[in-house]
Amino acid sequence: MSEVRSVFVDEGVLDINYIPPRLLHRDEEQRILQAMFNFMLTAPYEMSQRAIITGGVGSGKTVLAQVFGRWLKVEAKRRRVNADYIHVNCRELRGSLFMVLRRVVKTLRPDFPERGYAANELMETLMQLLDEENTQLLLALDEVDALIENEGSNALYDLARAQEVRPNAPRRLSLLCITKDPRVFKKLDSSTLSSLQRNVIQMQEYGSPQLASIVVSRAEAAFRREAIPLEVIDYIAELATHEHGDARYAIDLLWRSGKYADVAMARQVTPEHVRKAAAAIFPSLKEESIGQLSLHEKLVLLAIARFFRHSTAPHASTGEVEQMYRIVCEEHGDEPRGHTQFWKYLNQLKSLDAIRIKLDASSQGRTQLISLAKITADDLEREVLRSIEQK
């Protein structure tokens, strides 16, 4: 008996902290960042800059900044210019300016003492270190909301003022603020706010084709060849599109699906593995939601579950589900309703988060494609049967 290998060859590329060699679909945003901070390469020490990256969860804010920071350091080295990039997560550091500064100073000088300094002393130390190294620093403040919520305007004001109190000294410190909610900047005083709002990069949601290409690029690096079929990749992209184009969710779904495939000792990732992964991240169907359905709505739901239990396809056509509905009705000793009434039942099930129904783009008629989201076919069948038996 041959040993079943893992579907993975390198799980690391699916880690939340992984920085890809190239960031897909964000070329324009990278060009804007390069234009904003190009002075660090062409006119070092002559000015400083502040900018904001904002966008929803999974829109690529963090990885955009990190890819740009990596490019900046490589390009500076190539041009023999001293420039550094440090990325800190303010929420991880409890929104404390002191902890942010300590992390930055420790990054520049690992042997720096942990204790014995106040925030203002750390600020002075940071500028001294930059002077000693004769370098510039682009400091990325990820989840800057935590810093603003905890310290108000003071933290960003102090970071900006650290450069302003040295009018004749070389400009060494620039800031890149990252947030999912730009409304947090309304809490800043007018002078601090005006210095930030001039340079804002708004990240748009990824669309389904963009998400699919992102999933493909990660899957090609993370999985064995042929371990994850193209239709499964499209299915993952489709689910992530419904989560506001969240690329982070898509990548997490990809990793979890592979894990469930390994647990099942499967050679390939299937739509059921994806559904199991989605249910583990965001469970979607509550028992009371099924209980409120009519008998035949439950039977249609049971037909959907039965179809996907016996199929590896990510979608079912309305005709396939209707055929299964007639079989389910026969099993339960009930007369199936006509085609028009079946359509009504199907459309009423759209209100459930667990069911996705869309028009088949390849069809010239009214064929719709049905899929499950955030619940496995096994779990759905079990819950529907339990509800029918209780009634």
The total number of structural domains that make up the chain: 3
Query: Per the domain annotation, does 15 fall within a domain?
Result: no
What is the structure's pLDDT at 287? 67
What is the structure's pLDDT at 147? 96
Least confident segment among 79-93, 204-218, 230-244, 284-298:
284-298
Per-residue pLDDT band for 1 (boundaries 50, 70, 90) equals very low
Residue 40 has pLDDT above 80, yes or no: yes
Q: Tell me, yes or no, whether 265 and 140 share the same domain.
A: no
Give pTM, 2 decimals: 0.86
What is the structure's pLDDT at 198? 76
Question: Could you give the percent of the chain with pLDDT greater than 90?
Answer: 79
Q: Tell me, yes or no, whether 295 and 332 share the same domain.
A: yes
Query: Per the domain annotation, does 11 fall within a domain?
Result: no
Per-residue pLDDT band for 166 (boundaries 50, 70, 90) equals confident
Query: Per the domain annotation, does 224 fall within a domain?
Result: yes
List the one residue out of 190, 191, 228 whose CA is nearest residue 212.
Answer: 228
Q: Which residue, 236, 264, 281, sits at the end of a domain? A: 281
Q: Tell me, yes or no, whether 115 and 169 share the same domain.
A: yes
Rounded CA-CA distance 287/277 in Å is 19
SS3 call for 48 = coil
- 12, two tokens: 């690391």
**For residue range 285-295, what is the model confidence (pLDDT) as tens digits?**
766 688 889 99
Q: Tell me, yes or no, whether 103 and 165 share the same domain.
A: yes
Query: What secondary structure letter does DSSP report for 334?
Result: -
Q: Tell me, yes or no, whether 72 and 183 share the same domain.
A: yes
SS3 call for 139 = strand
Residue 261 has pLDDT above 90, yes or no: yes
Q: Tell me, yes or no, whether 267 and 300 share the same domain.
A: no
What is the structure's pLDDT at 359? 83
Residue 197 has pLDDT above 70, yes or no: no
Q: What angle do CA 245, 247, 253 make, to 5 degrees?
A: 110
CB 179 within 8 A of CB 143: yes
Q: Tell me, yes or no, whether 265 and 142 share the same domain.
A: no
Q: Tell me, yes or no, whether 184 and 268 share the same domain.
A: no
Q: Tell me, yes or no, whether 199 and 56 share the same domain.
A: yes
Query: Per the domain annotation, does 3 fall within a domain?
Result: no
Mean pLDDT of 378-388: 93
Q: CATH number of the domain at 219, please.
A: 1.10.8.60
Q: What angle do CA 100, 104, 109 make, to 5 degrees?
A: 145
Q: CATH number of the domain at 371, please.
A: 1.10.10.10
- 145, two tokens: 């909301």
Rounded CA-CA distance 123/146 in Å is 19
Total residues found in the chain within this entry: 391
Mean pLDDT of 216-220: 97
- Which DSSP string corresponds to 174-221? EEEEEES-GGGGGGS-HHHHHHHTTSEEEEPPPPHHHHHHHHHHHHHH
- 138, two tokens: 């682009």
Residue 90 has pLDDT above 90, yes or no: yes
Q: Tell me, yes or no, whether 307 and 346 share the same domain.
A: yes
Rounded CA-CA distance 69/174 in Å is 12
Mean pLDDT of 303-313: 95
Residue 41 has pLDDT above 60, yes or no: yes
Query: Per the domain annotation, does 18 fall within a domain?
Result: no
What is the edge-to-edge ordering of all strands in the sheet holding 136-142? 83-89, 136-142, 173-179, 50-55, 200-203
What is the structure's pLDDT at 123? 95
What is the structure's pLDDT at 364? 62
Which residues form the domain of 250? 207-281
What is the structure's pLDDT at 167? 82
Q: Tell me, yes or no, whether 114 and 247 share the same domain.
A: no
